[in-house]
Structure 1
Amino acid sequence: MLLSKIGIFGLIILAVSLQRTESYFGLTGKNVYLDGDTEWDCKRLSKKQRKMCRRDSGMPETLYEAIRLSERECQMQFKNERWNCTTSDRYRENILKKGFKETSFLYAISSAGLTHTVARACSRDVLERCTCDESFNDEKNKETWQWGGCGDNIKYSQKFVQNFLNGKKSGKDLRALVEKHNSDVGIRLVRQEVKETCKCHGVSGTCATKTCWRQLSPFSEIGKLLKDRYEHAYKVVSTTNESTGQAQLVTPRPKGEVVNRTEGSSLGPNDLVYIDNSPNFCSRSKFTPGTSGRVCAKETNCKVMCCGRGYNIKSNEVQKPCRCRVVWCCYVDCDQCLEREEIHLCK
């Protein structure tokens, strides 16, 4: 299927190394297009992922859409931050080599985008191996409403994504535990935010009967939830659970003491976790182009975004509608006036 070129945001599965291929799907900065960037292809995925991609003719398009969805939402959530989900291959790839908070967000938003897109693709009849979710799960209301419509198939999507992301040899090191945890956060939040949508049927607008189905929440809501998890992410280390013998994530305490947050109230299954402190993203480095030249809002974020360096003011003349009037009967007519607009740019 021919697709328009999306620049540096292709499907990027070769995330940090070939060993981590199956643990990550998303915004890592490497294209997997055929020559000419005119067609999406599965050829650079791992062997397992390549098989899953090719066994359904609608899957390449679905994976492509998942990347676009994740990319847009990542940039929307961080547009006013020092790190703005940068579009550069080099910077993003270097971030993914570390265990920053930003890395945790990339893992979560990518798995969430894939989960969301696959579930929608099922209900839109894009995929051959799944259909609408037509299951019924509310027996107490069965007499007053019926299960119908075309629900987004979150059950199939969750199973597919977990199988797609998790390799046969799941890593037990700290990085592998953190990456899987953050990916699972994205999947879980999409599932938890599924809503029941109903349509009433009856004479004169009554609701004698209702047809109900499951529908995904807008992805922007998932993005907001993940951004909040990013703001409250926990730094973790790995330890062995004495009772089970399995590795687990814990948060470090002062003087080297640790506490198992998975059994407490601080760290839950929907919390993002990280292992490396993030850079400040103020100045150019291998992780960021810096904030010099970025547009900021004087009243809200210039001080933070410009890192105390101050800002320059640039004046532009822009055309805006003015002296608008209603023209009988059916439309509004406006003049175009020039207005001077100030833009603040970080030094």
Structure 2
Amino acid sequence: MPRQLIVDPNRICIKVKRLRGKQPILCKNEPEIIKKIISGAKLGINECQNQFIDRKWNCTTTRPHIRKILLRDSRETAFVHTITSAAILYEISKGVILPVCSKRDFYWKGCSDNVNFGYKKTKEFMDEGFRRRSDIKKLILLHNYEAGRLAVKNNMKNECKCHGMSGSCSFKTCWRKLPPFSEIGNRLKEKFDGAIKVMAGNDGNGYITESMTIKPPENDDIIYSEETPDFCEPSAETGSLGTKGRICNKGMDGTDGCDLLCCGRGYNRTIKQEEINCRCKFKWCCSVTCDKCKVKRKIYTCL
């Protein structure tokens, strides 16, 4: 199911007999929730690709490469699972509103996104379909699912509207809203950069950090157990597509710089001619007219 959600989310309920826990019940009785799960899985992959657009591994879903990636426990795999869980919770919560009415020093009477309902349904579908045995892969997967959910649940925003004579704001109507999902993606990308490597504990029912000098992971941290493969060259074994043909930035030190992205192999330079708007003028009233100018742009691609 974890791989199916990401590789082909439209088929998650095709073979109901293979599902476990509350998954078949949701498939049969709550088709609207299933639609949200499907759209959430797609939202998660889109955000993953936005976050990794300039990295050697750019969250491609090309088959069979994505299947190979998901078989590992690398930090890239962990991010995919975490962002998928967050996106499914986000989509379910966004589609269900609930009035929140609790009196404080101002009034809460707006309609809030129902993140608690989304959390419950996401957990039901994603966490309860596993066999009861415990192993490191399952523990890591469940931890990262929870980290994704917490990234949404713990980062809801307050929105308020003032009421009163002459803008006095004598009382407020407030509600809890989901932030833009790109903000969730940014937070999880930070967690990815600080992901914690773990290994199976001595009791076989838990995990510990690989190094005793590293603090145990919090519930909202991303964890993994395998080193990241080399994504420089194509590899059927690891799912790497390599970086040949990728566009890079010459002279930049970031992850999309030609030296880093091209893995020291060098790069080609091509000149591309484009048309852009130029010599734009404002006309009264109310339009803008522009000429078309041809410009040359240098493009660098990895060898």
TM-score normalised over the length of structure 1: 0.79
Of 230, 242, 249, which aligns to 1:280?
Answer: 230
Match of 1:97 in 2: 71
CA 1:153–1:307: 2 relative to 1, 3 Å: same
State which of 100, 118, 128 in structure 2 corresponds to 1:135.
100
57-66 or 146-155, larger mean C-alpha shift: 57-66
Segment of structure 1 superposing worse, 165-174 or 110-119:
165-174
- Which one of the candidate residues 189, 198, 214 is aligned to 2:176? 214
| Aligned equivalent of 2:120 | 159
Distance 1:92 1:165 in 2: 19
Matched, 1:261 2:215: yes
> Do structure 1's residue 326 and structure 2's residue 282 form an aligned pair?
yes
Partner of 2:14: 43
Which of residues 110, 113, 119 is equivalent to 1:149? Answer: 110
Q: 1:102 to 1:204 in 2, by over 3 A?
A: same
CA distance in 2, matches of 1:207, 1:284: 61
Is structure 2 residue 255 aligned with structure 1 residue 316?
Answer: no
1:289 deviates by 1.1
CA contact (8 A) 1:234 1:274 kept: yes
Q: Does residue 267 of structure 2 align to residue 293 of structure 1?
A: no
TM-score normalised per structure 2:
0.90
Question: In 2, Cα distance between the equivalents of 1:309 and 1:236?
Answer: 33
Give distance in 2, aligned partners of 1:205 and 1:283.
62
Identity of aligned residues (%): 32
- 2:34 — aligned with what? 60
CA distance in 2, matches of 1:102, 1:226: 12
Q: Which runs of 5+ in 2 are unaligned?
A: none
Unpaired segments of 5 or more residues in structure 1? Answer: 1-12, 16-24, 34-40, 123-131
Aligned to 1:119: 93
Deviation at 1:14, TM superposition (A): 5.9
How far apart are 1:259 and its partner, in Å?
6.5
User: Contact 2:9/2:38 (CA < 8 Å) preserved in 1?
Assistant: no
Task: For residue 58 of structure 1, give the secondary structure of its aligned residue in structure 2.
Answer: helix
2:60 corresponds to: 86
What one-letter code is carried by the residue in structure 1 that aligns with 2:124? N
Determine if contact 2:89/2:118 at 8 Å carries over to the other structure: yes
Matches within 5 A, 1:224-239: 224-239=186-201
1:250–1:261 contact (8 Å) kept in structure 2: no
Secondary structure at the residue paired with 1:88?
A: coil
**Structure 1 residue 54: Cα displacement:** 3.0
In structure 1, the partner of 2:206 is 248
Q: 1:171 to 1:216 in 2, by over 3 A?
A: farther
Shift of 1:217: 1.1
SS of 1:92's partner is helix
CA distance in 1 between counterparts of 2:132 and 2:251 reads 47
> Conserved in 2, the CA contact under 8 Å of 1:313 and 1:343?
yes
**Structure 2 match to 1:175:** 137
> Following TM superposition, by how much is the alpha carbon of 1:31 offset from its aligned partner in structure 2, in angstroms?
5.6
